[in-house]
Structure 1
Amino acid sequence: MYRDCWKSVYGIIFHYTRDEEIAEEISQDLFASIWERRKKIILKTTIEQYLHRAAKLEAFDYLRTSNSHREHINCALKSICGSKNCTEEQVFFNELNGNLNQLVAELPCRCREVYRLSQDQGKNNKTIASLLLISEKTVEYHLYKAMNYLRNNLQEYS
């Protein structure tokens, strides 16, 4: 199944995202999710049709959440640039954003995965729990752990 369908699933996702790395990552996640849920999935179509539909939905979800995230950042930058020290504030923002990304990369694997699904992709706890096959309490724990770690390591910016 994977060998037969991966190229077309990747192609669909790439068509919408126009980013090879993102398309590859979403494709891998999609196949992993299907494999983990293989005993629960009830197909009313062929596996190829199911995968193609799922690929489109995943691409649309990624675009929706990444655009929302980008809009929030642009809005924050615009409000910052309304002040006198626009360049200085932007440098400060870029430094903070870089440090945040570095700290997120240092989180334990599952904790980082939960944090990115929540903060970067805008998924709620219930959705994250079903995607990762963990309980909502576990999602809450990982988010708490991540936020606490980030808060403690970014105190100099407050």
Structure 2
Amino acid sequence: MNKFNEVPGSPSNQDPNAPLAVQLMNEQDFAHIYRNCWKSVFGIIFHYTRDEEIAEEICQDLFASLWERREKITIKTTIEQYLNRAAKLEAFEYLRTSNSHREHIKCALQNFSCSRNCTEEHVLFSELNGNLSLLVEELPCRCREVYRLSQEQGMNNKAIGVALVISEKTVEYHLYKAISFLRSNLQEFR
């Protein structure tokens, strides 16, 4: 008999309320625990994740962690209760992080999509602005002056009339002509 089996609370003579002395567990004891508990641990994880591969991965990681940390942990319940609780916690952690990961991916895709649309919109805006500048140059001289003072300088009709020494009605007429000309020549950007 090995040291582990001589300790009260070992797998062979475990009291359900006694702590398990996992610090003294050897490979045979671990194999015994694995054989007796892996189905319930897997079942719990699968119940929450609904993914067989993920459940197997988490289950294997849980048992590997038990083996690696055996000298550092103290179990105050039965090994089965400990593993079942750990399985639930690991499943919940997986779901929490995978949902968070999915949200980050979704957000990143939206940002990528938005930035792609912003770039596309920027290119279209630049093209529109270039065409608009060319068309403004085609306007008759007085019409072009009125349009630029209104749209580029932000002046109102009365201020334009004063600056160019023309009536407000004449300013309105030139703006109407300029906007009609531009609108009809920029149809492709609608």
TM-score, length of structure 2 as denominator length:
0.43
- Of structures 1 and 2, the one with the larger relative CO (CA 8 A, separation 6+) is 1
Q: Distance in 1 between matches of 2:111 and 2:67?
A: 45
In 1, Cα distance between equivalents of 2:105 and 2:72: 38
Other-structure match for 2:133: none
Q: Who is 1:66 aligned against?
A: 98
Amino acid at match of 1:47: I
Alignment match, 1:84? 117
Provide the residue aligned with 2:77 in structure 1: 45
Give the distance between the partners of 2:45 and 2:106, measured in 1 at CA.
Answer: 25
Q: Distance in 1 between matches of 2:111 and 2:66?
A: 42
- Number of aligned residue pairs: 86
1:26 match = 58
Matched to 1:30, the amino acid is: L
Runs of 4+ that moved beyond 6 A:
none
Q: Using the alignment, how far apart are the partners of 2:35 and 2:110 within structure 1?
A: 46
Give the secondary-structure state (helix, strand or coil) at the position aligned to 1:84: helix
Deviations 1:35-71 (A, max 9, x none): 1111222111100000000000111111111111110
What amino acid sits opposite 1:15 in the alignment? H
Unaligned runs of 5+ in 1: 87-158
**1:85: Cα distance to partner?**
8.6
Structure 1 residues 108-127: aligned runs within 5 Å: none
Amino acid at match of 1:39: E
Q: What are the ranges of 5 or more consecutive residues in structure 2 without an aligned counterpart?
A: 1-32, 120-190
| Structure-2 separation of matches of 1:10 and 1:41 | 22
| 1:3 matched to 2:59 | no
Alignment-mate amino acid for residue 46 of structure 2: F
Q: CA RMSD in A?
A: 1.7
Deviation at 1:74, TM superposition (A): 0.2
Name the SS for the 2:117 alignment partner: coil
Instruction: Report the structure number with the largest CA radius of gyration.
Output: 2
